[in-house]
Amino acid sequence: MYDGLTNYGKTDFLSQLQNKKTLFLCAIATTATSRIPGITGAGATPELTEYTPAADVELIVHGKPLCLPEIPQTIIKGEAAPTPAVITKAALELSDIPIIVADAGARIKPDIPYIKLGNKPGEDVRTGKAVVNAKEIFEKGVMLGKTLSKLTNHLVIGESTPAGTTTALGVLTALGYDAKEKVSGSMPENPHHLKYDVIQEGLKAAGYEEGEIVEDALRAVEIVGDPMIASVAGMVMGSTVPVTLAGGTQMTAVCSVIKGMENKFDFSNLCIATTIFVAEDESADINHITHQIDDIPIFAVDPEFEKSSVPGLKSYLDGSVKEGVGAGGAMMAAMLQEVPIDNIRFKIEELCNKIF
């Protein structure tokens, strides 16, 4: 259908969205979970992971982070992989799609106008009390989804939540889905055992035995989730226009919460869009997780970084970085506005040369 776009599932979903007015919303959140050493690559040190969401959206809006002196990059084998925020920025600028940032609970706030949804960051999942205000964040998300869908015809929702695949694994596991060793990660070596151990510790701390299913979807977020999941689930349920969840396996956790809500949800207006780096991640399986939830189409965009002359971008090819800040969905949204994938890659290279 489009050069550089692979789809898994329903093929006709995108035709309704071509050249439609689109809004990109980026939900940001942090949790104390991201401070667990070795759990995430989204930050140079465990402490700095809490700056990543703010720095990412500042980079998109201002062209540089303001909360940090340095640009968020993942350093792997001495090579700096630029944050996927650069991909998102390139795609949104070429397609003139506006971005709105929603703070579901980020400890460091970005220096831009943003929508306030949550009052506090998430806790460490090992406490079993990861998001005490999940219900409130969800309800604010519903209100925001309602409002934003009056302003656009297609809502693309990305996220920046360090250690978000761990909390995604937590929610999926708590709700009874087989996600063990199936969630993606921000590093070449996916620390599946560490992720599994910390979410098991959280479930036990909250009084659940291994394998026992948490009946209430928002309760799963409260125990072992993150604020982003609650907010985005709310936005999707509040929206009256088609929604693209722009992200990898974290967005499957959002879908699992929606599926578990009392009000039955019609998934026919929802898709997941991610990068080819997540879709082809051999250490994870987004299709396997998604198919357990509902018939949700997944689209994967390939920016063809093997053609790039920027060394940092090649780090994406070996799995050093895969997705984030809605990079895949932002590229797909731009392609729906008739921006060719080659132009997006050229723009990414231009931004990389300018910023880094």
156 binds its own copies (CB under 8 A): no
Residue number, 108 or 205, with CB nearest to its own copies: 108
Residue number, 25 or 48, with CB nearest to its own copies: 25
CA atoms of 327 and 323, how far apart (whole Å)? 6
CA atoms of 172 and 6, how far apart (whole Å)? 25
Evaluate whether 147 touches 212 at the Cβ level (below 8 Å): no
Q: Which helix (H) or strand (E) holds 158?
A: strand 154-160
Residue number, 76 or 100, with CB nearest to its own copies: 100
Candidate segments 72-80, 98-106, 253-261, 309-317, binder of its own copies by CB under 8 A: 98-106
Q: Enter the DSSP assignment of 109.
A: P
Shortest Å, Cβ 147 to its own copies: 5
Q: Of these, 15, 45, 150, 263, which contacts its own copies (CB under 8 A)?
A: 150
Shortest Å, Cβ 326 to its own copies: 16
Residues 6+ apart with CB under 8 A from 191: 38, 39, 185
Size of the site for its own copies (CB under 8 A): 23
112 binds its own copies (CB under 8 A): yes
Shortest Å, Cβ 273 to its own copies: 21
CA atoms of 25 and 345, how far apart (whole Å)? 22
What's the one-letter identity of residue 79?
E
Closest CA to 160 of 297, 80, 65, 266: 65
Residue number, 98 or 311, with CB nearest to its own copies: 98
Residues 6+ apart with CB under 8 A from 156: 22, 23, 24, 25, 97, 243, 244, 246, 273, 326, 329, 330, 332, 333
108 binds its own copies (CB under 8 A): no
**CA Rg, the chain, in Å?**
18
Closest CA to 252 of 318, 178, 325: 178
Q: Of these, 5, 14, 17, 23, which contacts its own copies (CB under 8 A)?
A: 23
140 binds its own copies (CB under 8 A): yes
Site string for its own copies, 260-299 (x = CB under 8 A): ----------------------------------------
Evaluate whether 220 touches 229 at the Cβ level (below 8 Å): no
Q: Of these, 134, 144, 157, 331, which contacts its own copies (CB under 8 A)?
A: 144
100 binds its own copies (CB under 8 A): yes
Residue number, 109 or 291, with CB nearest to its own copies: 109
- SS3 state at 229: helix
Residue number, 109 or 314, with CB nearest to its own copies: 109
Positions that interact with its own copies (CB under 8 A): 23, 61, 96, 98-100, 102-103, 109, 112-117, 140-141, 143-144, 147, 150-152
